[in-house]
Amino acid sequence: MPRLVVVSNRVAVPDPTGNRAAGGLAVALREAFEAYRGLWFGWSGKVAAHPSTEPRIVDKGQVQYALMDLTSLDRQEYYNGFANRALWPIMHYRIGLSEFSRADYQGYLRVNRTFANALAQLIRPDDLVWVHDYHLIPLAAELRAAGITNLIGYFHHIPWPAPEVLGALPGSRELLRAIMDYNLVGVHTERDADNLRRGLIHDLGAIQHKPDVVEVDRQRTRIKGFPIGIDVGEFQRLAGRSQSNRIIRQTTDGLGSRKLIIGVDRLDYSKGIPERMEAFERFLGTNPDQRGRVTYLQIAPTSRSEVPEYATLGRVVNETLGRINGTLGEPGWVPIHYVTSTYQRSVLAGLYRLAAVGLITPMRDGMNLVAKEYVAAQDPADPGVLILSKFAGAAQQLKAALIVNPNDKIEVAEAIREALQMSQEERVSRWESMMSVLQAQDVSWWAATFLKELTSNKTRTASRASV
């Protein structure tokens, strides 16, 4: 079996405390990756004045971790700058928030080149290379320039926008060109795959070969949807034994007979947190009998706080929260509980299980694993209801959720009422239907399917046809 080389900006070196951010990629990869022997390469998360051009190797048996430090300029230009201030908003359809700077773009290319040169020294001839996410789009082109001819796959964990949106970003044609150096490109949904193929056709004059192969300047790649899943069994187990946890007991006692609505997201403008709070405000306004009977818990770990748009969002959320709790709260009842700490997976699983409603309403999201974790954590006999944005990739699969437009506060408020009033029979039936999807397409299925496609004859034939 060939060795698997995974590359991602964040590397989840196993942490004995089990702490993790709410962001899904690192956890999904860790779960998927543990089935393979191999190497995981990426940023250490650390900044050094004079970082080594060779990675630090941490050996954990089955998986070796190869970690690169960045300079503070690298972090500023590559991570905070181009990846998170220019690309992230564009990929989430927020053209107005995208701040392009040529210096940041050069920093992004520089870090990709440094990573590729360091990684090229570690790659063996039979290795399968699997690159993850928007921080590293040019990595394959840089690896090719360093002489690497291995099969290289790329997985894009966030939405791929329509060509008209991506086209607003200076440098977008170069990014599209860099995509062509991968043998297989995975996205979460067919909509994303279609957007990327259309972008290549529209901006680079690509030719499409049926059904998923595109060709530019006689170079071919395959682009396909592979919806990422979760470890369903693990989440069920965690949720099932969470009752003894201190936080879960305190939350249960604090709730009394009140129902709980939960949202869990990184504090990111793509998640629609202020909009969701306002939809809840509207729900309380139109259903005054529900005041004091329901609590909305929003967990939103602080994220990318060096990026100005995230700091602004933090202020907007605080203001919205303060206004709603101030105007609608009562001495014995706070409508919205808001916490910005990071919780262990076992605690999150327990909170999901306590919640009658999972309120997951991003403005855009590649997949949204919280929606899936919420479903997996439910009590099969008495499950809660998932309210899910139609702009989350997960909505393409979880059709039995209450699907809403997060821009429409009236619709979201009505969905909250419907969820709280839903009969047990309907809740069970919707939950069973969602669980069957989660079980059929779990995280192991996702990784295995992508890697099978990467090594398939179809991919090899398409690559050989490149001349």
Catalytic residues: 157, 365
Stretch that binds ligand G6P, among 19-27, 66-74, 375-383, 444-452 (CB under 6 A): 19-27
Tell me how far, at minimum, the Cβ of 157 lies from ligand G6P, in Å.
Answer: 4
Strand, coil or helix: 184: strand
Binders of ligand G6P among residues 284 to 323 (CB under 6 A) are: 303-304
By beta-carbon proximity to ligand G6P, the closer residue of 133 and 181 is 133
Binders of ligand G6P among residues 113 to 142 (CB under 6 A) are: 133
Q: Which H, E and C letters describe 290-304, residue by residue?
A: HCCCEEEEEECCCCC
The contacts of residue 260 (CB under 8 Å, 6+ apart) are 251, 294, 295, 296, 297, 351, 354, 355, 356, 357
Tell me how far, at minimum, the Cβ of 10 lies from ligand G6P, in Å.
Answer: 4
Strand, coil or helix: 35: coil
Q: How many other β-carbons are positioned within 10 Å of the β-carbon of residue 348? A: 25
Binders of ligand G6P among residues 145 to 174 (CB under 6 A) are: 157-158
Q: In this structure, what token pair is assigned to residue 223? A: 């682009």
Binding mask 248-287 for ligand G6P (x = CB under 6 A): ----------------------------------------
By beta-carbon proximity to ligand G6P, the closer residue of 71 and 459 is 71
Stretch that binds ligand G6P, among 23-31, 273-281, 310-318, 421-429 (CB under 6 A): 23-31
By beta-carbon proximity to ligand G6P, the closer residue of 8 and 320 is 8
Of the candidate residues 23, 292, 314, 329, the single one contacting ligand G6P (CB under 6 A): 23
- 260 vs 251: CA distance, rounded Å: 10
Residue nearest to ligand G6P (CB): 23
Pairing of strands 294-299, 259-264: parallel
The contacts of residue 440 (CB under 8 Å, 6+ apart) are none
Contact call for residue 372 and ligand G6P (CB under 6 A): no
Tell me how far, at minimum, the Cβ of 134 lies from ligand G6P, in Å.
Answer: 7
Tell me how far, at minimum, the Cβ of 9 lies from ligand G6P, in Å.
Answer: 6
- 170 vs 327: CA distance, rounded Å: 45
The contacts of residue 261 (CB under 8 Å, 6+ apart) are 280, 294, 295, 296, 297, 355, 356, 357, 358, 359, 416
Binding site for ligand G6P (CB under 6 A): 10, 21, 23-26, 133, 157-158, 303-304
